[in-house]
Structure 1
Amino acid sequence: MTIQKIDTATTTRIEHDLLGEREVPAQAYYGVHTLRAVENFPISGTAIGIYPDLIQALACIKEAAARANHDLGLLDAVRADAIVRACRELRAGRLHEQFVVDVIQGGAGTSTNMNANEVIANRALELLGHAKGEYQHLHPNDHVNLSQSTNDVYPTALKLAAHFGILRLVEAMTVLRRSFERKATEFADVLKMGRTQLQDAVPMTLGQEFSTYATMLGEDEERLREAVALVHEINLGGTAIGTGITAHPEYAARVREHLAQVTGIALVTAPNLIEATQDCGAFVQLSGVLKRVAVKLSKTCNDLRLLSSGPRAGLGEINLPPMQAGSSIMPGKVNPVIPEVVNQIAFEVIGNDITVSFAAEAGQLQLNAFEPIIAHSLFKSVTHLRNGCLTLAERCVDGITANREHLSALVRDSIGVVTALNPYIGYKQATAVAREAHATGGSVYRIVLDKGLLTQAQLDHLLRPEALTTPQVLDLAGR
């Protein structure tokens, strides 16, 4: 995103910073620091306003800071109230379009923090009856950023935003898990062949197969809840490097109390603020769990694509709901586009995890300058995984049907059922039966019967569906 310079005096205002004067669009709520950042970082074309969780997190922090500073006698009631009111508007979704700094930026997040300071200050000025840019009444640095540094605000904002996003991701995973659970119940009586290394193994039910996908999701929901607890430890109050310079001795405790009240999150101030200011371990841990979710979700989608392959020249065991025409040249072709898009999300999340790892490792001394790319990577992973889970549930899993007759025929003709006879005819005899069935195309049932290895009654008992798909007490007395 770029800012076009406007020369007409009636449509701009003059602001000052370390480098001098600049014209800022008169109606903009951001100021000169944001303007320079937009010009300096024309990188991705994506502004931080695309992540509402981040904007809301920043607003929560600035509101809590204003309250704490007022408690400590550092900020008068009029300014504190105006800042709080402006922050609450941001939390309600207003002015997010004013957060125009690129998501990929230098400066360890300073541009993001200043974008927030300026937007909040200018909206607060309006609420006080002043014009934007009249910072002598309420200043972005002196009042909105009072007792703060980018170095404690930005990582705290990332943790809050991650918390908000992860909870929604868990909700979406729950939706998908329940979709698989419903299918597991629907397919509980559908016998099929299980496979290992893409070769026939032993029978199972299609319900058992789908229940595994539900179980995997449930496990990862728990892992995410564990990981999100790590981001509840914050370094707010540490200011520049964790020593708390420029902050009141009671500020860290006060601001944490207010922030916990504003967000509803049980936050904890890190015991060592210097360590917490430079350490990105919580983000690495969270990214690793997101990668775990992605890997297992992608494996599930691989299975869905394989099980539905065909419809006549593949496995063809299940049918995915047709969502769109699959080819511009092959009439009637329908592709598994929903699992395919979720696969691609997983590939992206795995790449994002690598980015987070490199960025966390690259930190030096008392600060990590690369938290913006950590934030961008984490937020993309969370957002895309959430959307992928909901899409997979609603546009694929809910509509899956089973090709029951085909599955039954595969079990009936499979050599794999001979495994169930191992305890009764022995591995050597079972191997001979399997080899003959493979060579002749005959059924295991008929070959065992013809060889007199078991009676028909015994075979019917041993090869009944429940015996093939669950543990059984072995009766070897007559072997």
Structure 2
Amino acid sequence: MNIEIKTRTEKDLLGSKEVPFHCYYGVQTLRALENFNLSVHKLSDFPIFIQALAMVKSACVDANFKLNKIEENKYNAIQYACQQLINGSYHSHFPIDMIQGGAGTSTNMNANEVIANIGLEFLGYAKGEYQHLHPNNDVNMSQSTNDVYPSAIKIGLLFALDHLNTPFQKLIESLSSKANEFSDILKMGRTQLQDAVPMTLGQEFSAFAHTLQNDLQKLNHIMPDSLSVINLGGTAIGTGINTETEYRIKAIQALSEITGKNISSAPDLIEATTDMGDFVLLSSLLKRTATKLSKISNDLRLLSSGPRTGIGEIQLEPRQPGSSIMPGKVNPVIPEAMNLACYQIIANDLAITLAAEGGQLQLNAFEPLIALKLFESIELLGKAMQMLNEKCIQNIRANAAHCQHLVENSIGIVTVLNPYLGYETTTRIAKMANESGESVLALIKAEGLLSDEILANVLAVHNMIQPKQHAA
């Protein structure tokens, strides 16, 4: 049975098309739907980006109204429509693929058409009656995709980073809590997968917490200043064509008020229109964090390896059966999944780098890929951090007795005796222990090289995990 879908006729440069009447987008969005079906990522998958677009549009119409460039009824209609998008409504009418040709024009026109049609209904007209409120003439007044799109990306990223702070900080707090819990558990440190010198399990987890805290500080101290500088008002290539002298100042002021962020105008709008350096910087910081998290996940898998034939110094909470053929096997699936997420973020950084480098002359046509990969990386990083924290870190248990046993039977413990016996003697003892299977301590006692009192002092936990205090 054929169901007739009610349509409306819309026109653009290429001619007329029938747009489903219920849709708030228009002919240019429809063409983008027909042209770009490349990924699983639609604009509607990133509501924070749609909200940022609406904030930019709201600021622009505010500036135009203050400059007497647009009638009050159109101003009210556009502001109403923008607020609807900011509140989360009508996002299903942003169906286009995030990967698109045209440097983001399809995204900008999608926003222009949806805002226009919401505004038309607010004014009492039907969708598509653009003679009363036009997507280009009114909604896009004093604007170009080339200043609206990158500005919206930056605003969206600022809010996305705000959201990332919570899982980031909670993961750091959980690692710090484990550091305190494990502060008295002595274990062997390892370099190049070989026994090194003693440390505590708490020191190991404290290092995890501190390295992530360092990254969070960098994200919070560097990126807000970088992303808050935008090229809005530059229009097509940064010269500000088709705008009035005061427009840029008023639009930036309005956007600062709408977002609650300290938004400023780039000192050179032509440079800001073509350069993608801020996006590359953010991607690099995200990659840095992903690299660290992947290394931490590797360490967790090694430290929990076993349960009988591996290192086995910690136990991860079992999350699911690990094998379809080996009964009783449990795999470290949460750190493994963290690794996978990190690999994707690292790969996204390469895509962003190539897209940033690929720009030519006064515009970068590959901003849509940059936008997709940055929003994707931040969202993936936040979800992965929450997963690692809640399903792994919070429930890690230490095998304290096993850690102590490994220390006492390690060849590496000979290093702490080096200042007392000298390098040649300790080397000889280490070799004998390695060949005979005897412990280092047993060999030293057998040869009477150190008294029990000195050994007890040397092997005290506080003397093995930190510099010694100088005797007065």
| TM-score greater than 0.5 by the shorter chain | yes
Which residue number corresponds to residue 189 of structure 1? 184
SS in structure 2 opposite 1:24?
strand
C-alpha deviation, 1:229, in angstroms:
2.1
What do residues 170-206 of structure 1 show as CA deviations (whole Å, max 9, x unaligned)? 2211110001001001000111000000000000000
CA distance in 2, matches of 1:13, 1:330: 62
* Residue 472, structure 1, aligned to residue 459, structure 2: no
Matches within 5 A, 1:456-471: 456-471=452-467
CA distance in 1, matches of 2:439, 2:85: 70
SS in structure 2 opposite 1:314?
coil
Matches within 5 A, 1:191-270: 191-225=186-220, 226-270=222-266
C-alpha deviation, 1:474, in angstroms:
6.1
Unaligned runs of 5+ in 1: 1-5
Contact 1:360 1:370 (8 Å CA) reproduced: yes
CA distance in 2, matches of 1:7, 1:131: 22
Which residue number corresponds to residue 17 of structure 2? 22
* Residue 287, structure 1, aligned to residue 304, structure 2: no
104, 128, 131: which one pairs with 1:133?
A: 128
Which residue number corresponds to residue 348 of structure 1? 344
Which residue number corresponds to residue 49 of structure 2? 54
CA distance in 2, matches of 1:100, 1:157: 18
CA distance in 1, matches of 2:350, 2:251: 34
Mean Cα deviation higher: 55-64 or 42-51? 42-51
Which residue number corresponds to residue 436 of structure 1? 432
CA distance in 2, matches of 1:228, 1:432: 57
Contact 1:228 1:286 (8 Å CA) reproduced: no
CA distance in 2, matches of 1:387, 1:186: 25
CA distance in 2, matches of 1:185, 1:129: 64
SS in structure 2 opposite 1:422?
helix
What do residues 36-61 of structure 1 show as CA deviations (whole Å, max 9, x unaligned)? 00000011132111011110100000
Letter in 2 for 1:161: G
What do residues 206-243 of structure 1 show as CA deviations (whole Å, max 9, x unaligned)? 00000011001100001212133211110000000011
Contact 1:227 1:289 (8 Å CA) reproduced: no
Which residue number corresponds to residue 3 of structure 1? none
C-alpha deviation, 1:419, in angstroms:
0.7
* Residue 328, structure 1, aligned to residue 324, structure 2: yes
CA distance in 2, matches of 1:335, 1:134: 60
Which residue number corresponds to residue 353 of structure 2? 357
CA distance in 1, matches of 2:142, 2:187: 65
CA distance in 1, matches of 2:207, 2:157: 28
C-alpha deviation, 1:7, in angstroms:
8.8
CA distance in 2, matches of 1:243, 1:124: 30
Letter in 2 for 1:324: Q
Counting matched residue pairs gives 470
What do residues 419-448 of structure 1 show as CA deviations (whole Å, max 9, x unaligned)? 111111111111111111111111222211
Letter in 2 for 1:83: I
C-alpha deviation, 1:418, in angstroms:
1.1
Contact 1:170 1:224 (8 Å CA) reproduced: no
Letter in 2 for 1:112: T
284, 297, 301: which one pairs with 2:297?
A: 301
Which residue number corresponds to residue 156 of structure 2? 161
SS in structure 1 opposite 2:162?
helix
What do residues 55-111 of structure 1 show as CA deviations (whole Å, max 9, x unaligned)? 010000011111111000001111111111111111111111110110100000000
CA distance in 1, matches of 2:311, 2:93: 53
Which residue number corresponds to residue 26 of structure 2? 31
SS in structure 2 opposite 1:152?
helix
- Percent identical among aligned pairs is 53
Structure 2 length as normaliser, TM-score?
0.98
Which residue number corresponds to residue 88 of structure 1? 83
Letter in 2 for 1:231: L
SS in structure 1 opposite 2:422?
helix
Which residue number corresponds to residue 69 of structure 1? 64
CA distance in 1, matches of 2:224, 2:413: 45
SS in structure 2 opposite 1:419?
helix
CA distance in 2, matches of 1:322, 1:95: 42
* Residue 418, structure 1, aligned to residue 414, structure 2: yes
SS in structure 2 opposite 1:147?
coil
C-alpha deviation, 1:113, in angstroms:
0.2
Contact 1:29 1:122 (8 Å CA) reproduced: yes
C-alpha deviation, 1:466, in angstroms:
1.0
Contact 1:147 1:237 (8 Å CA) reproduced: yes
C-alpha deviation, 1:290, in angstroms:
0.7
CA distance in 2, matches of 1:72, 1:86: 21
Structure 1 length as normaliser, TM-score?
0.96
CA distance in 2, matches of 1:350, 1:344: 10
CA distance in 2, matches of 1:114, 1:18: 13
Unaligned runs of 5+ in 2: none
CA distance in 1, matches of 2:41, 2:427: 62
Contact 1:152 1:236 (8 Å CA) reproduced: yes
C-alpha deviation, 1:127, in angstroms:
1.1
Letter in 2 for 1:304: L
Letter in 1 for 2:168: M
